[in-house]
Chains A and B, each alone.
Chain A
C-alpha cells in the first residue's frame, strides 16, 4: 500500500492507504477528523469541501494519493488560538446552520469564496454556492452570514 504524507491543519500526517482511498476517508478515518462530511456520492453536495493548497476542493472527488505533499486545511483547522474564524462567527451570528451537516463544507467554501472575491453581493454568493447543498436553511441565512463575514474581513 502506498504511504501518503501531507500537512493537515499545520501538522504532518501520513499513513499507509490503499490507492483507492479518497482524501475524505483519509481525513475522517485515518486522522479522525470527522468534521468533514460525506453527503452524496456524485460530488455535488459539497459537505466534504476542504482546502488543498489554499483552494476549496471536494475531498470526495480526489484520492488521498493525489494530495501527497499538499497542505490541507479542514474545518477543524480554521479557528486559530481558540478564536473562531470570522466566517464561523458569522454562521453562528446569522443562524446559518441548523442540523450542521453541510456546515463544514459551506464554511470552507465560503472562506475560499471570500479569498477569491472579497467584494460580494447576494447574487454572486448564491451562484458561488452551486456546489454546496443545504436542506435545512433555505440558504437565506447562509447567504446573510457569508455577506456579513465578507464585510467583517474587509
Chain B
C-alpha cells in the first residue's frame, strides 16, 4: 500500500490524530487528573517587590480547617534541598562567569519580586488552602526595589543579589570590536537607532499545574506537570535540586495546553509539590490561576538597545554595532542566560552580508519575575533590531527598502557570519520577491492614495528575517555554555502484529507531533498512520529526551526517528533475507513489502514483524529475536529558516487605531511534512508577533514593583477581531544539515512579524520610530507630535 495513495504521505495535509480527544473533551491535561486522596497546594506569594522577611508565623494557619501542612523556606533548607538552576553559563568580557544569586524554592530571608514564593499551604481543598494562606502572618521589612531597567545598573540602584554588584549578572560580548570600529571609521553613512523590545507574558491558555506523589513502598516519586521537556525537569530535580535520585523520579507531562517557552523551565511550584508529597504522605496538586500565571510564569523579551549601522555610499552594509541591556528579572530561570546572548547576538547578521559585527549585552537583575525564553527567544529581539535599522537606513539613504535589502543579501552558501553562525542554505531574494508579489507591492501607492481620500493613513513594512533552530549540535552549544547536550532520542518498537510505537524525546503541546511523526513513520514503513502510535512525555516510557522548544522537534526529533527507522530497516532486511532465503543485499523494502530483487518472492510487513518475534529458526548468532531500535541524533549544525513578511496597515488618525489590512508571510522551512500543521504554526506565531507589536506589554509600576498588567483586564491578549486572516506562501531550499532537509517552523511568525508591523506603522506616519506595543494611544500621541511637514502631507 502506498501512503501517497492514501493521502498520508510526506507533504500531505493529513488531519490530526490528536484532534478527536480534544474536540470531544477527552484530553487529559494535568488539572484534569485527580489522584486518590490528593490534597491541594496554595502558594503564599510576596506582595512586595523587595523585602526582608523578619518572621513568618504560621500557627493560626496551621489550625485552620482542612490544613494538612504548611511549608516555608526554612523547611526546604533544613531538608538540604538545592535551589533552582540556570542551565547555561555565560561569561563576561573579562572572562569571569556570570554572577548568580541563589534561587530558593521558597524564600528564605528575602523576597525579590511580587509573586515570589513565601510559603506552601497544603489542605484538603483549594479553598481551604487559600483561606489558611491568608492567615499566615509574614513580618516584612519592605525595601526599595530596582524595577526600571534603564536605571538598575547605577550605583544607587537597590541591589537584587549581593553576588552581582550594580545588578549586573554578566557583561557579554560577541564579534570583532577592532574590525567593527575600523569599518565605522571609514563609513559614508552611520544610522543610529534606540529600540525597546517590550516585555511579554507568555500566557499559554492552560495555566501551569503539577501533581506530586510519593510511593512509600518503592520510594518512587511521580510528578505530573505541564512541561515541554519532562526529562530535563527530572534531571534538574534530581541532580541539582536533589528531590530524588533520577531512577526514583518519574515525570509525566500529559496533554499540555501550549507552552511557547514558558513550560520549558523548572519552577518552584512543581518542585515543592513533588518534594512535599513525601512529607505529607499524600498526592499534592497545584494549579495556577491566571493571576498567579501572570506573576510567576517566566516572562519574555524586555531589552533596551542602541544600534548603529555603517554603510558605504552605495548602501552596502559595512558593520553593525549593538549595545543591549537585557532584563533577567529577579532570578536566573532555567535558560535565561542563553536567551539575550547566544540566541540573540548570533542572529544579528540577519540575511545580510555584514563584514563586521560587534555586540555587547549586559544581563541585568531587577525586582521583577524571571525572564526567559518566550516563542523565538532572542531571535525576535535580534530580528527586530536588524530589520528596524535596515528600514531606517533605507529611509535615511533614500534607497527603496526592498532594494537596500537586495543589495546586502547573502547569496552564496555556506556563509560564515562574524557572529558564530554558519548559514547552510537559503534564497532570500526568492522569498522577498514572492512576498512583494503576494502583497501587490506595485499597487500600494494607489491603495495609499485611496486611503488618504478616506482620511486614513496607509503604510507598508518589510521584514526579511532569519532564525536559527534546532539549537545544536551538542558540541557547539556545550562550547557556548550549555549545561546539556541538545540532541534528540527516538525508539521504534515494532509489535508482533506489525503496528508500531514510536517513543520520542520531543514533546507535543499543540504542535501535532502525534500526526506529523506518525506520517513520517507510516510512509517509511508503508503502513497506515492509524497503526503508528507516538509516545512522548513520560520518563518511564521514553528513556531520555531533550523536549520541544526552539523549533527543534522536526529537525532534531524527527531526524532521530529517521535514524532509528534506518536501523529497523537494516534489521528487518536481515530477517527478510533469512526468511526468503536470499542475500541481504537483494532485499528491497518498498510500500510495506519486502521483496527479493529479480524474483517474485515477497513478504508483507506484518508477517515480517510476527516472524521477528516468533524467531523460529533464526540463526541466533546472527539475528536476535525482536524488532526494536533506538537512536540518538545529534545534528551537524543549527537550521536556518528564513523568509520575508510584509505587513500593510491602515491607521485611523482620529483614534490611533491600526488595522492590519494585509499580512503576507513567505517562509522557507525546507522540507515540509504536513503543510496544514506548518501553516497553523505560522498563523500562531504571527498572532503572537502582532500581539507584541500592537497589543501586549508586561508592565511593572516603576516605584512599587507591582505588576500593573496582572490579568486580561490590562494585559492585552490578541482576540480574533484584532487580527486579519493571513496570506501565506512558501519557498524551499533544502536544509543540508539533517536527513529530512527540515528547518523548523514554530517560531518564525513571532520572530518575523513585529518589525514588519512597526516598519509599516512608521511608514504610514512618516516617523522614525514608535515603541511597541503601538497601541492606539501611542499612535495617536505620535501623530500629535509629528513635525508639521509630515502632518501636512
Contact = CB atoms under 8 A, between A and B. Distances in A.
A79 B24 contact: yes
Given A99-B258, A101-B206, A139 B25 contact: no
Interface stretch (B134-142, B422-430, B718-726): B718-726
Contact of B25 (A74, A91, A102, A127): A74
B736 interface: no
With most chain B CB atoms within 10 A of its CB, the pick from A78, A95, A97, A99 is A99
Contacts of B127: 18, 20
B25 A76 contact: yes
A29 B679 CA distance: 36
B730 interface: no
A143 B721 CA distance: 10
Contacts of B28: 34
Contact of B720 (A103, A130, A135): A130
A61 interface: no
Interface string B692-729: 00000000000000000001110001111101011000
B762 interface: no
A132 B509 CA distance: 19
A42 B717 contact: no
A130 B205 contact: no
A99 B509 contact: yes
B257 A126 contact: no
A99 B205 contact: yes
With most chain B CB atoms within 10 A of its CB, the pick from A34, A74, A79, A88 is A34
Contacts of B204: 99, 101, 135
A38 to B, nearest CB: 7
Mostly, the A contact residues are loop
Contact of B723 (A45, A74, A127, A138): A138
Nearest to B255: A100
A127 B723 CA distance: 11
A39 B207 contact: yes
Contact of A139 (B256, B510, B711, B720): B720
A22 to B, nearest CB: 11
Interface in A117-154: 122-123, 125-127, 129-130, 132-144
B163 interface: no
Interface in B56-111: none
B215 interface: no
Contacts of B683: 137-141
A75 B26 CA distance: 9
Given A37-B29, A41-B289, A136-B510, A100 B22 contact: yes
A13 interface: no
Contacts of A139: 683, 687, 718-720, 723
Given A133-B712, A133-B717, A139-B720, A88 B291 contact: no
A66 interface: no
Nearest to B713: A42
Interface residues of B, number: 57
Nearest to A138: B687
Contacts of A104: 22-23, 25
B719 A133 contact: yes
A29 B207 CA distance: 17
B229 to A, nearest CB: 16
B260 interface: yes
A135 B258 contact: yes
Interface string B633-659: 000000000000000000000000000
B290 interface: yes
A135 B24 contact: no
Contact of A143 (B19, B260, B725): B725
Contact of A42 (B20, B686, B712): B712
Contacts of A142: 720
A42 B711 contact: yes
Contact of B721 (A41, A126, A134, A140): A126
B686 A88 contact: no
B684 interface: yes
B686 to A, nearest CB: 6
Contact of B725 (A35, A98, A122): A122
A100 B22 CA distance: 5
A24 B719 CA distance: 23
Interface string A23-62: 0000011001111111111101101000000000000000
A83 B157 CA distance: 64
Interface in A74-122: 74-76, 78-79, 84, 88, 91-93, 95, 97-104, 107, 122
B676 interface: yes
B625 interface: no
Contacts of B679: 95
Contacts of A76: 24-26
Contact of A97 (B22, B687, B719): B22
B16 interface: yes
A33 B27 CA distance: 11
Given A107-B23, A130-B720, A39 B290 contact: yes
B46 interface: no
25 contacts: A18-B127, A20-B127, A34-B32, A36-B25, A40-B712, A42-B711, A76-B24, A79-B24, A84-B24, A95-B676, A98-B510, A98-B684, A99-B205, A100-B18, A100-B19, A104-B23, A104-B25, A123-B721, A126-B723, A133-B719, A135-B260, A135-B688, A137-B684, A138-B687, A140-B723
Interface of B: 15-16, 18-29, 31-32, 34, 127, 203-207, 255-258, 260, 289-291, 509-512, 676-677, 679-680, 683-688, 711-713, 717-721, 723, 725-726, 749
Give me the 3 closest cross-chain CB pairs, A-B, nearest first: A35-B25, A101-B257, A100-B22
